[in-house]
Amino acid sequence: MNAMSLSKTTALDLEALLDVFRADAAALGARRDVDEVFAELCAAYQDESRKYHSLEHIAECLGMLAELRETLESPAEVALAIWFHDAVYATHPFASSEKRSAALAQKSCMRMGIGEPSAQRIAAMVRATKDHDPSSIAGSVHERDASALFDIDLAILGSDPVRYARFERDVRAKHAWVPEGIFRSRRAKLLGAFAARRAIYRTPILRERLEATARTNIERAVAELTATVDEVVLHPTDVHLFATRAARLEALHSWADLHFASILPGPSPRLGVAFAPDDDGALQIALDAPYASEVVDRVRSIPEYDRDAERRAETSGVPSFVYSRERHRPVAGPLRKAERRAAYRGQA
């Protein structure tokens, strides 16, 4: 299996990962101990203490690298840098994980028979993942290669909302020893620094694909991390409705499991959504809550949504069902048609 087909394999297909590792190491002149180094890296990334920085992360990074290989000066060096960039893993402030991972990278490359110039470039890229700044790398590392490595490592920031929420949850678990208030403050500051960049991604392909989503993810995460009240924030996607609470994924529901939705009128109107027939703990969305309009619009866009029932609730002050599986067909997934939402607003 070649590198270009890696992205089509399962995340933890060890045989496929080994094939690609062998090919990249061989391209740099490796001639011994390749399988042994691979096994040691896999053991490190599969340690039970790992949260986000696991073998799955490495596989995701390599899959993304497969799309960029033809644009790089030395894709094999970038691939080896990906393999080693989180090889040494610790979360306390003085762990120097990147520095130690870089030292391991250079030692392991030399052990496999890779020439010293390549080994030094790989180690330099690994060391620089601490700040993701290509200008911090001295020597002969190609800036295009370094930028690709950093962008790939940061690609999670531009992932889909559910994947990103899980990432934030894993980051919190990784730093479980840090008090909540300190964690939130420091995490918000770190994410804010990425948002302050003119561009988060330097690689044109990844910037076009991920930049806008990354900024939306960061904006929401910072808003939650800095909120004075620790309240659940709901997020809609095409497939799921999920709830987060400042870097913790609290609940994940499939739209297909929606059983009923109701309007609860009053001084602070709410939309209640339930995902079981006897759900007495339905999610309640205050219509004026942060990002509530996105969730409400998704529910309103269900073809069977009862618009008359919402109007009756608003005028009578009596709670009313606006969707029920018993009355309507199961939800395949809310539609995202602006014209449907605009038409509804025109009738309200």
List per-residue pLDDT tens for the chain, 348 residues long: 333 334 333 446 899 999 999 999 999 999 999 999 999 999 999 988 888 889 999 999 999 999 999 999 999 999 999 999 999 987 676 678 899 999 999 999 999 999 999 999 999 999 999 888 777 776 678 889 999 999 999 999 999 999 999 999 999 998 888 999 999 999 999 999 999 999 999 999 999 999 999 999 999 999 999 998 888 888 999 899 999 988 899 989 999 999 999 999 989 899 999 998 876 667 888 888 878 899 999 999 998 999 999 999 999 999 999 999 999 989 987 765 433 333 222 222
279 and 317 share one domain: yes
Q: Which of 185, 207, 225 is the last residue of a domain?
A: 225
115 and 73 share one domain: yes
300 and 203 share one domain: no
Compute the CA torsion angle 9, 15, 17, 18 (nearest 10 deg): -160
35 and 100 share one domain: yes
148 and 18 share one domain: yes
**pLDDT the model gives residue 231:** 80
8 A C-beta contact, residue 21 and residue 83:
yes
Q: Model's pTM, two decimal places?
A: 0.85
103 and 165 share one domain: no
Q: Which domain holds residue 312?
A: 233-347
Q: With H, G, I as helix, E, B as strand and everything else as coil, classify residue 73.
A: coil
Q: What is the pLDDT of residues 325-347, one digit of tens each?
A: 999 989 987 765 433 333 222 22
216 and 241 share one domain: no
Quote helix, strand, coil % in the chain, to nearest 5.
55, 10, 35
**pLDDT the model gives residue 333:** 75
The residue type of 99 is K
56 and 186 share one domain: no
Cα angle: 76, vertex 85, 140; to 5 degrees = 55
147 and 185 share one domain: no
* CA distance linking residue 88 with residue 100, whole number of Å: 6
57 and 177 share one domain: no
Q: Which pair of tokens denotes residue 95?
A: 């762990």
221 and 237 share one domain: no
The CATH number for 81's domain is 1.10.3210
8 A C-beta contact, residue 234 and residue 242:
yes
Nearest Cα residue to 64 out of 217, 206, 216, 214 = 206
114 and 244 share one domain: no
For the chain, where are the E strands, in sequence order? 233-236, 240-244, 249-254, 260-264, 270-274, 283-286, 320-324
Q: What is the pLDDT of residues 54-72, one digit of tens each?
A: 999 999 999 999 999 999 9
Q: Which of 153, 179, 206 is the last residue of a domain?
A: 153
Neighbours of 256 (CB within 10 A): 12
8 A C-beta contact, residue 78 and residue 145:
yes
**pLDDT the model gives residue 134:** 74
**pLDDT the model gives residue 338:** 37
Number of structural domains the chain divides into = 3
